[in-house]
Amino acid sequence: MDARAVALLACPVCAQHLELSPGVLRCPAGHSYDLARQGHVNLLGGAEPANADTPAMLQARGRVHASGLFDEVAEAVAAQVRGSRLLEAGAGNGFYLARALERRPEAVGIALDVSKAAARAAVRAHPRIGAVVADVWRNLPIRDRCLDTVLCVFAPRNLPEFRRVLEADGRLVVVLPNAGHLDGLRDRYGLLKVDADKAEQLTEAAAGLFEPVESVRISAASQVDAERALDLIAMGPNAFHRLPEAVSAGEITVDVTLLSFRPLPT
């Protein structure tokens, strides 16, 4: 793991800084965490939850990302990044963080996800990613005010913790699905519904912690073959329900809103 990434981490037990030794991260209080052979570190402190991304979900997501369907979203996210110390919360395979790092050769990033399979995938996404297994809903194992940008793309949002770890002039970049996201699949295969006012709900929830800076809607229709259509269903929370036995090729819509926020003074 990159030493610059380690410098952003905090011990999940005592919140002191972590230092890198061969094969282990250790805090001044003596708490230690082994680096996995693949290069990530597990700071979860328990078993991963039942809704953690599975290897099959991550493989499906990787194929979708490789197809280019979400390239416009990834470029829009990367364009919002500030500074050189980045975190992607609920990072999955690290696709969006890796794209941001490609545009910023001086930057380093933490990919944080509750799934061990996701951490293994994120390590492979970019050499400047430090992958951490941790729960976004708990206190993040990140030092106070040490980050320039937090990315949260289709992922859980712990707004108080995001505020704590961001510098005063940092940015929180969130991508939310709109009600029309994955049109062409949602009704045909009974996918989970998306609230029509998710962006408004987030802006209201962020009041007192963040102020909105920018809102960008990205919407594009694409033709996908049957394999990619199935991957789009299998890569997200619909995978925890019964997948359709047969999926056909057709047109789908990527329809999302990107919101950028600035931390409010504390």
pLDDT at 196 over 90: no
pLDDT at 136 over 90: yes
pLDDT score of 7: 96
CB 10 within 8 A of CB 143: yes
pLDDT at 184 over 90: no
Please write down the long-range contacts of 96-105, taking CB distance under 8 Å and 24 or more positions apart: 96/151, 96/153, 96/175, 97/122, 97/125, 97/126, 97/129, 97/151, 98/125, 98/126, 98/129, 99/74, 99/75, 100/149, 100/151, 101/126, 101/128, 101/129, 102/78, 102/126, 103/78
pLDDT score of 49: 93
Nearest partner of 49 among 120, 153, 130, 133, judged by Cα: 133
pLDDT at 242 over 80: no
Percentage of residues of the chain with pLDDT beyond 90: 82
Nearest partner of 232 among 258, 251, 257, judged by Cα: 251
Query: pLDDT digits over 100-126, tens only?
Result: 999 999 999 999 999 999 999 999 999
Q: Which helix (H) or strand (E) holds 163?
A: helix 159-165
**Distance from C-alpha of 202 to C-alpha of 259, rounded to nearest angstrom:** 9
In DSSP terms, which residues pair with 260 in a beta bridge? 173, 214
Q: Is the pTM of this model over 0.85?
A: yes
Rounded mean pLDDT, 123-144: 97
Query: pLDDT digits over 244-266, tens only?
Result: 878 999 999 999 999 999 999 97
Q: Domains of the chain, with CATH numbers? A: 3-263 (3.40.50.150)
Burial of 162 (0-12, 13-18, 19+ CB in 10 A): buried
| Per-residue DSSP letter, 136 | T
pLDDT range class, residue 154, cuts 50, 70, 90:
very high
**Distance from C-alpha of 244 to C-alpha of 68, rounded to nearest angstrom:** 24
What sign has the CA pseudo-torsion 90, 95, 96, 102? positive
pLDDT range class, residue 137, cuts 50, 70, 90:
very high
Q: How many CB atoms lie within 10 A of CB 242?
A: 8
Rounded mean pLDDT, 42-47: 93
Query: Across all residues in the chain, what is the average pLDDT?
Result: 94
**Distance from C-alpha of 148 to C-alpha of 165, rounded to nearest angstrom:** 9
pLDDT score of 240: 84
pLDDT score of 73: 97
pLDDT at 227 over 80: yes
pLDDT range class, residue 192, cuts 50, 70, 90:
confident
pLDDT score of 58: 97
Q: What are phi and psi of 131, to 5 degrees?
A: -95, 135
pLDDT score of 243: 80
Q: Left (φ > 0), alpha (ψ -120 to 50) or beta: where does 23 sit?
A: left
Considering all CA atoms of the chain, what is the largest pairwise distance in Å, rounded to the nearest integer? 57
Residue 68 token pair: 């280019």
* H and E: helices and strands count for the chain: 9, 11
